Amino acid sequence: MTGKFNFDLFGAVALTAVLVVSTTSLHAQSIEEKTQVCAGCHGVDGKPADKTIPVIWGQQAGYIYIELRDFKRGDRKSDIMQPIASSMERDDMQAIAEYFSKKSWPDLGQPRASKEISDRASNANRSIGCTGCHLDQFQGDGTIPRLAGQSKEYLTKTMGDFRTRARGNNPGMSDLMIATAPDDLAALSEYLSGL
């Protein structure tokens, strides 16, 4: 009796284990499951949980892919994003990049810059030529990121990181940021966030 009972119990446990494993691996293949963790910081509605976390909803797919790749390689350092990207394969990164690029960019409700700040930002753009790469509306394309409407605090942080080369994954952007005066960078952050 006891032996039979144990056999059934074992059978039930084994069956449950098989079900759990197969459900988990099925879920692991769904993009929703893979991107669930992202929402905790980048926002369930695309609005990041903190101002220093970038918007990724509606960002250019090519750019998202490059960043995930660079976080994984360690070319772009981040104690938070490196461990997350390190478990991703190239196919995952591409699928995740596509997934987020198709969402619509959230309105963070950041104010438009004053005329004085906008003029200062436009002059800096004229001398450095940001729009030559980031395009007229700062909407980006392919591997060039959208900057329009990005979080002001994040823009300030990441341009500062390029400047000190703490963000070292694009030496060309670092050179441009070093060539731009700190006051102009502050004006650009304010201007871009309000677009």
Contacts to ligand HEC by CB under 6 A:
35, 37-38, 40-42, 53-54, 56, 64, 66-68, 78, 80-81, 84, 96, 124, 128-130, 132-134, 143-145, 147, 150, 155, 158-159, 169-170, 172-173, 176, 180, 188
Instruction: Output the CA torsion 55→151→81→158 (10° steps).
Output: 140
Residue number, 113 or 169, with CB nearest to ligand HEC:
169
**Who contacts 4 (Cβ-Cβ below 8 Å, separation ≥6)?**
none
CB of 12 to ligand HEC, least distance (A): 35
Residue number, 32 or 116, with CB nearest to ligand HEC:
32
Known binding residue 130? Answer is: yes
CB of 179 to ligand HEC, least distance (A): 8
CB of 66 to ligand HEC, least distance (A): 5
**Structural tokens at position 41:** 């910081």
DSSP code for 53:
S
CB of 133 to ligand HEC, least distance (A): 3
Gap between the Cα atoms of 35 and 150, Å rounded: 20
Tell me the β-bridge partners of 144: 141
Known binding residue 133? Answer is: yes
**38 with 56: CB under 8 angstroms?**
yes
Residue number, 22 or 86, with CB nearest to ligand HEC:
86
Distance of CA 24 to the CA centre of its chain: 26
Gap between the Cα atoms of 40 and 49, Å rounded: 7
Binding residues for heme c are: 38, 41-42, 81, 130, 133-134, 173
Give binding residues as ranges.
38, 41-42, 81, 130, 133-134, 173
